Structure 1
Amino acid sequence: MFSEINAKIVEVQGELRKATKYRVQLADYEQELETIEMTISQLHRQLESEKKDVTRLERVTLTNLLATLAGTKNEKLSKEKQELVVAQHKLAEAEKTKREIDDEMLVIRNKLFELKSTDNEYQQLLLQKEEMIKESSSSESLKILELSEQEGAVNTHLKELKEAIDAGNLVKSALKEAIDSLGKAGGWGTVDLLGGGFISDMIKHQHIDDAERNVHRAQTRMRQFQKELLDVQQQADVEINISGMLKFADFFFDGLIADFLVKDKINKATHEIEYQYKQVNDILAKLNKQYMEHKNHLETVQKEKQEIIQSL
């Protein structure tokens, strides 16, 4: 009878742990949403300003005529149009990120709704367990109960570690794909320096586009990884520093249009992404170490519990 109610309690404790995890993640997403909404507002204002600059330079005015005669107007207009395209691109990326955050928050809210009655169920089970303990006079039964509780707690933490490890491996995969794409773009950048022309330029841009998609995917997965780490690092005996990691792609999107036509900028981006890859890899090494330690502890608890059961 003890084993049945304890199994049920362990199961409900896992559900309660999920609810706590989801609330922490939701609060963090809410802060991110506030930040990205401010960013979008700023980018809208910047975009309007860039549009006005382009329109002003395109109008026929005495100043523009003089600038044309001096050979500077086209240069200025080209620069303003470039800045306009960059602003449009950054806004599109920010809005895409906001949609992803909104979607993740909706998923978490739905999960919390499904768990809303769990706390009441847990309290009822504790009352039943308390009555059973009062009626029990077997020290072996109480020891089995204690070990079962330890087993449930360790199993729950193993599951949380596994979720964080899986999320981190997805980040690594996307970063690796971005590095590969930039490596290909860098190769075609060398061809450009040797006079590769239109075809090499087009191929290089395709690889940069691929890298951009992979970087955005990595940033999305980094966000999910970070949410898993919020839960794990409170219990894992490791120091995990993820400050700034969600910002790593900002420089990429800022310089994509204006600067990535130059080979050394591609190399700089590659080095930055390789650094982020190493950071994620270091965190995963710590998580995997913790996972094996907890797994060994679980085997010890299970073995002790089994020995007691066999002795009865």
Structure 2
Amino acid sequence: MFSEINEQLIEIQGHLRKKDKYEAQLEDYKDELEAIEHRLAQLESRLQSEQEDVEKLERFSLTNLFATLSGKKDEKLSVEKQEYLAAKHKLEEAKKTRVEIDDAMILISEKLIQLENAEYRYQQLLKQKEEMIKTSSTPYTEKIFELSSLEGRLQAYIIELDEAINAGQNVKNSLQKAITSLEKAENWGTWDMLGGGTITGMVKHQHIDEAEKSLHQAQTRMRQFQKELLDVQETAQIEVNISDMLKFADFFFDGFIADYMVQGKINRSLEQAKQQNERVHTIVQGLENQYDEKNRELKRIQQEKQHIIEKL
């Protein structure tokens, strides 16, 4: 009987920890959603402004006339179109992020519904435990329950650490893909600057496109990583400004179309991706150390409990 209720308590402690985790994640996503809605409004306003600038140069106007007479109309129109495309591109990225946040919030809300009775179930089990301690004839009952409670909390925490580690590894995988693509773009870009021709430029742009997809995926996974860290960061004594890491790829997305041929842009993006990869690696390493330490602690508790049970 002791074994059965102990197992139930361990299981329900895991559910309660997940419930707290999901509630914290949901609140954090709500803040992010508010921020992305504000950013979308700004980007839509900017896109409208850039579109108007293009239209001014394309239709008959004094601005158009002066630009034509000065011989700079085509140059100005090209710049305005590049800025319009850059603004449109950033807006599309922000919209994708909003959809991802919406989907994540729906998923978490569904998980919370499944755990809504966890607290009530836990209190009921505690009452059963108290009655068993009162009616038990062995002096070791309370100690066994105490150790089981510690065991449950540790097991739940170890699961959270494992989930955070996996989320961090996913970020690293996406960053490594981006780094590989940027390194290829850098190499082809160097050849392009030396007069590689049209095909060289096309290959370079293909690798840039691949890098962009990987960086967007890295940002998405970084957001998921940040949510997993909410529950373990303080206990694991990990200090990291994750908000800065979420924004790292903005440099790449901001105006890259207008800057498409600039080799320096590729070089700086590559350097930033490598820096972020190293930061994530350091965090994951800290989590793995905590994982090993807590598993050793769990094993000690389980052995102590088993030793008491064997003496009964």
- TM-score bracket, shorter-length normalisation: over 0.9
Please list, as runs of the form range in 1=range in 2, the aligned pairs for 1:147-186 lying within 5 A after superposition. 147-186=147-186
CA distance in 1, matches of 2:92, 2:24: 28
Please list, as runs of the form range in 1=range in 2, the aligned pairs for 1:239-258 lying within 5 A after superposition. 239-258=239-258
1:66 maps to: 66
1:68 deviates by: 1.4
1:124 maps to: 124
Please list, as runs of the form range in 1=range in 2, the aligned pairs for 1:35-74 lying within 5 A after superposition. 35-74=35-74
1:62 deviates by: 4.2
Whether 2:110 is the aligned partner of 1:105: answer no
**Any conservation in 2 of the 1:9–1:125 contact (CA below 8 Å)?**
yes
**Any conservation in 1 of the 2:190–2:263 contact (CA below 8 Å)?**
yes
CA distance in 2, matches of 1:270, 1:237: 30
Please list, as runs of the form range in 1=range in 2, the aligned pairs for 1:254-269 lying within 5 A after superposition. 254-269=254-269
1:195 maps to: 195
* Larger mean Cα displacement after TM superposition, 56-65 or 152-161: 56-65
1:208 deviates by: 0.3
1:144 maps to: 144
1:219 maps to: 219
CA distance in 2, matches of 1:238, 1:277: 16
Q: Alpha carbon RMSD of aligned pairs, Å?
A: 1.2
CA distance in 2, matches of 1:270, 1:242: 19
Going from structure 1 to structure 2, the CA distance change for 1:46 and 1:15 (only over 3 Å counts) comes to same
Amino acid in structure 1 at the alignment position of 2:82: Q
CA distance in 1, matches of 2:21, 2:70: 64
* Larger mean Cα displacement after TM superposition, 301-310 or 219-228: 301-310
1:91 maps to: 91
Q: What is the DSSP-based 3-state SS (H/G/I as helix, E as strand, rest coil) of the residue aligned with 1:208?
A: helix
**CA displacement, residues 228-252 of structure 1 (integer Å, 9 cap, x when unaligned):** 0001113223333323111111111
* Larger mean Cα displacement after TM superposition, 162-171 or 183-192: 183-192
Q: How many residues align?
A: 312
* Larger mean Cα displacement after TM superposition, 261-270 or 100-109: 261-270
Q: What is the DSSP-based 3-state SS (H/G/I as helix, E as strand, rest coil) of the residue aligned with 1:41?
A: helix
Q: What is the DSSP-based 3-state SS (H/G/I as helix, E as strand, rest coil) of the residue aligned with 2:231?
A: helix
1:286 maps to: 286
Q: What is the DSSP-based 3-state SS (H/G/I as helix, E as strand, rest coil) of the residue aligned with 1:261?
A: coil
What TM-score do the two structures reach when normalised by structure 2? 0.97
CA distance in 1, matches of 2:48, 2:171: 35
Q: Determine what percentage of the aligned residue pairs are the same residue.
A: 57
Please list, as runs of the form range in 1=range in 2, the aligned pairs for 1:27-42 lying within 5 A after superposition. 27-42=27-42
CA distance in 1, matches of 2:25, 2:161: 15
1:182 deviates by: 0.4
1:17 deviates by: 1.0
CA distance in 2, matches of 1:285, 1:12: 29
**Any conservation in 1 of the 2:56–2:63 contact (CA below 8 Å)?**
no
1:42 deviates by: 0.7
CA distance in 2, matches of 1:149, 1:62: 79
Q: What is the DSSP-based 3-state SS (H/G/I as helix, E as strand, rest coil) of the residue aligned with 1:244?
A: helix
Gaps of 5+ in 2: none
1:233 maps to: 233
Amino acid in structure 1 at the alignment position of 2:212: E
Going from structure 1 to structure 2, the CA distance change for 1:186 and 1:171 (only over 3 Å counts) comes to same
CA distance in 2, matches of 1:9, 1:179: 46
CA distance in 1, matches of 2:8, 2:56: 71
**Any conservation in 1 of the 2:82–2:258 contact (CA below 8 Å)?**
yes
**CA displacement, residues 34-73 of structure 1 (integer Å, 9 cap, x when unaligned):** 0001111111111111111000011123442332121111
**Any conservation in 2 of the 1:3–1:145 contact (CA below 8 Å)?**
no
